[in-house]
């Protein structure tokens, strides 16, 4: 009984208080034929030491050399203090802060988080986070369709096109989630520069309800966001911006795109202090203009006053949420990734604007060093951020496999996602990659290509 504290005397006293002979009697309302008899091979419980040994062996199996894969999950430095603090039991084992008076720590952290994300994105409001980037994009699309009243009045089709280089796995997740509400998510083509080609939208009878663009896009390429934002604003199309929050330390915030800015901003917070950890848990964020605040899904924290007029924090606008509004809620979500938000808030406090800017710049510089060292052509001509598509001139999947066997995670082979890019890899070098590691990758790649 690894975590059950009852002594035999406790159990006996408790059964007496209830008035039954044994524990089995407490299950007498379950029909006999539904009571499980042990099936399969019994599995003996392990001690913590034995369990840890098994995990350590398996984790060691997966240890690889330097990571040059990005594609939505990045190997950045995380200050030691971030997870020392976030792993405190008071943060890690707390429940959702519904009892506000007993949850001021978590609530204030979320309020600070909301502020930091508003600062990075330039938007008016931010929610307390959603699951992660892909599911967050789905929520952003659903929100845009709800929020575009003009489109609803005019009867525009429920179509939300995505720029061709939005993360393909985000697109897949979004489609799975929004298709049940009759929302169509077509892909726009990308050009030889790697940027979206909006001319595909010319000549439509009605403009789309919303448009999704990612900056930097999946190829690492920087989109012409001013032109895209103006295109959307002129037509009454809501613009959903999917962004890497770290990049916003250097890049123009979505609120400043074009003359009107983006309407909804989403993305994945992993670059802000969350380990790669197989991609999860991470967190998604969702920011909006003030006018759309009541369409945001999920939790939101507000500052208020207590009965003595002192400041305090509480969950607010709960009338949007499933536990109040039920079938009419903005979403069924009842999670915010609280622990990851806590880590990200601490991370941003330690790095500050200057630190984030330096990490972003160092990552861009390392990626340029990598491109130079690999000596293979870039596939797309437009400027890139800290990721880049490289053309290997031969099918990329076996090369990436060979590099992995050689101890280098040498980018992501793009064939499974874009058939026309089967010879290409998407590579990334964060600030953590050393020149020696870059040289090791370059050497390994030359070896793999010459075989």
Partner 1 sequence: MGAQTIFDLSQPGRGAGAQRPSPAAVDDLPAELRRDAAPRLPQVSELQALRHYTNLSRANFSIDSQFYPLGSCTMKYNPRGAHRAASEPGFLTRHPLAPASVSQGFLACLHDLQEILKNAAGMPAMSLTPMAGAQGEFAGVAMIRAWHDAQGDASRREILVPAGAHGTNPATAAMCGCTVREVAVRDHGDVDLDALKAAVGANTAGLMMTNPSTCGVFERRVTDIAAIVHDAGGLLYYDGANLNAILGKAKPGDMGFDVLHFNLHKTFATPHGGGGPGAGPVGATARLAPFLPGPIVERTDGGYQWAEPPQSIGRLSAFMGNAGILLRALAYALMLGTEGERRVGEFATLNANYLAARLKDAGFDLAWPQRRASHEFIITLAALARRHGVTAMDFAKRLLDFGVHAPTTYFPLMVPECLLIEPTETECKEELDAFVAAMERILAEARDDPETVRTAPHTMPVKRLDDVKAARELDLRWRPQ
**Is 436 an interacting residue with respect to partner 1 (CB under 8 A)?**
no
Which residues, 6+ apart, have CB-to-CB distance to 235 below 8 Å?
A: 207
Query: Per the structure block, which two tokens stand in for 23?
Result: 């524990």
- Indicate which single residue of 140, 144, 160, 173 sits in contact with partner 1 (rule: CB under 8 A): 173
| Residue 138 backbone zone (phi > 0: left; psi -120 to 50: alpha; other: beta) | alpha
- Indicate which single residue of 304, 381, 434, 435 sits in contact with partner 1 (rule: CB under 8 A): 304
How far is the CA of 255 from the CAs of 132, 192, 258, 321, 403, in angstroms? 21, 27, 9, 26, 41
CB of 350 to partner 1, least distance (A): 4
CB of 318 to partner 1, least distance (A): 8
Enumerate residues 187-216 that contact partner 1 by CB under 8 A.
Answer: none
CB of 110 to partner 1, least distance (A): 8
In the sheet with 125-126, reading across from the earlier edge strand, the strands are: 125-126, 284-288, 264-268, 238-243, 210-215
| Nearest Cα to Cα of residue 212 among 256, 170, 274 | 170
**Is 115 an interacting residue with respect to partner 1 (CB under 8 A)?**
yes
Closer to partner 1 at the Cβ: 104 or 197?
104
**Is 225 an interacting residue with respect to partner 1 (CB under 8 A)?**
yes
Enumerate residues 233-252 that contact partner 1 by CB under 8 A.
Answer: 248-252
Instruction: Please tell me the distance from the alpha carbon of residue 14 to that of residue 5, in angstroms, as a whole number.
Output: 13
- Indicate which single residue of 217, 237, 244, 314 sits in contact with partner 1 (rule: CB under 8 A): 314
Instruction: Please tell me the distance from the alpha carbon of residue 382 to that of residue 188, in angstroms, as a whole number.
Output: 17
Enumerate residues 385-414 that contact partner 1 by CB under 8 A.
Answer: 385, 400-401, 404-405, 409, 412
- Indicate which single residue of 163, 362, 390, 396 sits in contact with partner 1 (rule: CB under 8 A): 362
Which residues, 6+ apart, have CB-to-CB distance to 270 below 8 Å?
A: 72, 73, 74, 132, 133, 276, 279, 282, 283
Instruction: Please tell me the distance from the alpha carbon of residue 241 to that of residue 229, in angstroms, as a whole number.
Output: 9
**Is 299 an interacting residue with respect to partner 1 (CB under 8 A)?**
yes
Listed ranges 157-165, 203-211, 353-361, 388-396: which one lies at the site for partner 1 (CB under 8 A): 353-361
- Indicate which single residue of 259, 325, 435, 446 sits in contact with partner 1 (rule: CB under 8 A): 325
- Indicate which single residue of 152, 154, 172, 234 sits in contact with partner 1 (rule: CB under 8 A): 172
**Is 75 an interacting residue with respect to partner 1 (CB under 8 A)?**
yes
CB of 107 to partner 1, least distance (A): 9
Query: Per the structure block, which two tokens stand in for 400?
Result: 């990436």
Closer to partner 1 at the Cβ: 54 or 375?
54
- Indicate which single residue of 305, 394, 435, 447 sits in contact with partner 1 (rule: CB under 8 A): 305
The count of residues interacting with partner 1 (CB under 8 A) is 198
**Is 63 an interacting residue with respect to partner 1 (CB under 8 A)?**
yes
Rg (CA), the chain: 25
Listed ranges 197-205, 297-305, 372-380, 435-443: which one lies at the site for partner 1 (CB under 8 A): 297-305
Which residues, 6+ apart, have CB-to-CB distance to 159 below 8 Å?
A: 183, 184, 185, 186, 208, 209
Closer to partner 1 at the Cβ: 176 or 204?
176
Instruction: Please tell me the distance from the alpha carbon of residue 70 to that of residue 80, in angstroms, as a whole number.
Output: 22
Listed ranges 71-79, 143-151, 201-209, 441-449: which one lies at the site for partner 1 (CB under 8 A): 71-79
CB of 444 to partner 1, least distance (A): 14
CB of 203 to partner 1, least distance (A): 28
Query: Per the structure block, which two tokens stand in for 389?
Result: 């598509």
SS3 246: helix
Closer to partner 1 at the Cβ: 163 or 348?
348
Question: What string marks each residue from 247 to 286 as x (binds partner 1 by CB under 8 A) or -?
Answer: -xxxxxx--x-----------x------xxxxxxx-x---
Peptide bond into 157 cis (omega under 30): no
Instruction: Please tell me the distance from the alpha carbon of residue 439 to that of residue 5, in angstroms, as a whole number.
Output: 56
Instruction: Please tell me the distance from the alpha carbon of residue 112 to that of residue 78, in angstroms, as a whole number.
Output: 19
- Indicate which single residue of 8, 21, 90, 155 sits in contact with partner 1 (rule: CB under 8 A): 90
In the sheet with 424-428, reading across from the earlier edge strand, the strands are: 387-391, 424-428, 412-413
- Indicate which single residue of 187, 361, 373, 422 sits in contact with partner 1 (rule: CB under 8 A): 361
């Amino acid at each position: 009984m690894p975590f059950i504290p009852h002594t035999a005397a406790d159990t006996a006293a408790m059964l007496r208080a209830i008035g039954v002979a044994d524990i089995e009697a407490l299950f007498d309302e379950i029909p006999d034929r539904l009571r499980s008899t042990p099936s399969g091979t019994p599995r003996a419980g392990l001690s913590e030491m034995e369990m840890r040994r098994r995990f350590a062996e398996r984790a060691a199996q997966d240890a690889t050399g330097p990571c040059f894969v990005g594609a939505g999950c990045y190997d950045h430095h995380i200050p030691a203090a971030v997870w020392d603090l976030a792993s405190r039991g008071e943060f890690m084992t707390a429940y959702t802060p519904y009892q506000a008076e007993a949850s001021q720590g978590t609530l204030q952290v979320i309020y600070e988080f909301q502020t930091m994300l508003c600062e990075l994105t330039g938007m008016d409001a931010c929610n307390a986070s959603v699951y992660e980037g892909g599911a967050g994009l789905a929520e952003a699309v659903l929100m845009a369709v709800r929020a575009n009243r003009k489109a609803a009045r005019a009867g525009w089709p429920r179509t939300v096109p995505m720029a061709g280089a939005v993360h393909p796995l985000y697109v897949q997740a979004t489609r799975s989630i929004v298709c049940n509400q009759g929302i169509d998510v077509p892909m726009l083509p990308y050009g030889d520069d790697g940027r979206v080609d909006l001319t595909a939208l010319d000549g439509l009878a009605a403009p789309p309800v919303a448009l999704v663009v990612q900056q930097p896009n999946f190829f690492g390429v920087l989109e012409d966001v001013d032109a895209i934002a103006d295109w959307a604003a002129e037509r009454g199309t809501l613009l959903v911006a999917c962004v890497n929050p770290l990049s916003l330390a250097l890049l123009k915030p979505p609120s400043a795109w074009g003359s009107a800015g983006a309407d909804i901003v989403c993305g994945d917070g992993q670059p802000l202090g969350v380990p790669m950890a197989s991609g999860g848990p991470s967190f998604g964020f969702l920011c909006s203009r003030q006018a759309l605040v009541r369409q945001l899904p999920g939790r939101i924290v507000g500052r208020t006053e207590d009965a003595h007029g002192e400041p305090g924090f509480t969950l607010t606008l709960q009338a949007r949420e499933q536990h109040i509004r039920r079938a009419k809620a903005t979403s069924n979500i009842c999670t915010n990734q609280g622990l990851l938000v806590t880590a990200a808030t601490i991370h941003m406090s330690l790095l500050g604007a200057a630190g984030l800017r330096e990490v972003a710049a160092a990552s861009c510089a390392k990626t340029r060093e990598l491109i130079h060292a690999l000596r293979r052509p870039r596939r797309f001509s437009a400027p890139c951020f800290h990721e880049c598509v490289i053309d290997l001139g031969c099918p990329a999947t076996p090369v990436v496999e060979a590099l992995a066997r050689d101890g280098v995670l040498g980018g992501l082979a793009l064939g499974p996602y874009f058939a026309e890019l089967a010879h290409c890899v998407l590579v990334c070098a964060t600030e953590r990659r050393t020149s020696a590691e870059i040289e090791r990758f370059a050497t390994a790649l030359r070896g793999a290509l010459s075989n």
